[in-house]
């Protein structure tokens, strides 16, 4: 889900484990030389979703060889497509960061970079987030590791995820 901390936590896990970190949204922006909001506006969401799947596929390979251990943060909508879930499951652990909707709304209230969240005020942002979450939660629950982030520091969340992947 957007705003739960995938990029922040993903980066922190990779630093802790000293492995490469890949942020799929950043990969797509670099490759297209365009901000995600511009890709949505100029090319449309289906085109973005196609780029997302192909970027996801490419994160697992360097040439034709599987890459070494790495941490990948996807966009919040990437787990919606079965094809994407299958690619991610073939790579290893998938992590669902669960964050209270009010907390996400507070975090993103002044952030205008997310094309699916162009809301006029806090109440409409909150209800839009709830609507997106309700639509996506069954797919998110298919992730192999579930971590509730509420009231936790980044360090605590990182430690919980690393611990969960040792089991």
Compare residues 6 and 126 and give the one whose CB is closer to Mg ion.
Answer: 6
- Residue in 6, 25, 3, 29 with CA at minimum distance from that of residue 117: 3
Q: Known binder of ligand: residue 49?
A: yes
- Residue in 104, 50, 106 with CA at minimum distance from that of residue 78: 50
Residues 4-43 that bind Mg ion (CB under 5 A): 6-7
At residue 157, the 3 state secondary structure works out as: helix
115 binds, among ligand ATP, Mg ion, ligand SKM, none (CB under 5 to 8 A by kind): ligand SKM
Q: Does 2 bind ligand SKM (CB under 6 A)?
A: yes
Compare residues 12 and 36 and give the one whose CB is closer to ligand SKM.
Answer: 36
DSSP 28-82: HHHHHTS-HHHHHHHH-HHHHHHHHHHHHHHHTEETTEEP-S-EEE--TTGGGSH
Type and span of the H or E element at 8? helix 6-17
Among 10, 25, 56, 161, interactor with ligand SKM by CB under 6 A: 25
The mark string for 81-120 relative to ligand SKM (x by CB under 6 A, - otherwise) is ---------------------------------xxx----
CB of 96 to ligand SKM, least distance (A): 13
Q: Does 8 bind ligand ATP (CB under 6 A)?
A: yes
Q: Known binder of ligand: residue 7?
A: yes
Buried b (16+ CB within 10 A) or exposed e, 77-100: bbbeeeebbebbeeeeebbbbbbe
**Residues lying near ligand ATP in the complex (CB under 6 A):** 2-8, 25, 73, 75-76, 107, 114, 149, 152, 154, 157
Binding residues are 3-8, 25, 49, 76, 114, 136
Annotation: binding site for Mg(2+) = 7
């Amino acid at each position: 889900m957007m705003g739960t901390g995938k990029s922040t936590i993903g980066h922190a896990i990779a630093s802790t484990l000293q492995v490469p970190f890949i942020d799929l949204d950043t990969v797509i922006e670099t490759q297209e030389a365009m901000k995600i909001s511009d890709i949505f506006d100029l090319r449309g969401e289906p085109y973005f979703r196609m780029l997302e799947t192909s970027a996801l596929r490419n994160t697992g390979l360097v040439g034709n060889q599987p890459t070494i251990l790495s941490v990948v943060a996807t966009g919040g909508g990437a787990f919606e497509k079965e094809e994407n879930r299958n690619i991610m499951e073939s790579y290893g652990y998938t992590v669902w960061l669960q964050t209270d909707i009010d907390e996400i709304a507070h975090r993103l209230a002044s952030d205008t970079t997310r094309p699916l969240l162009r809301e006029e005020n806090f109440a409409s942002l909150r209800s839009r987030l709830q609507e997106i979450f309700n639509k996506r939660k069954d797919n998110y629950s298919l992730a192999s590791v579930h971590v509730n982030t509420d009231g936790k520091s980044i360090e605590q969340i990182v430690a919980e995820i690393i611990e969960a992947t040792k089991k």
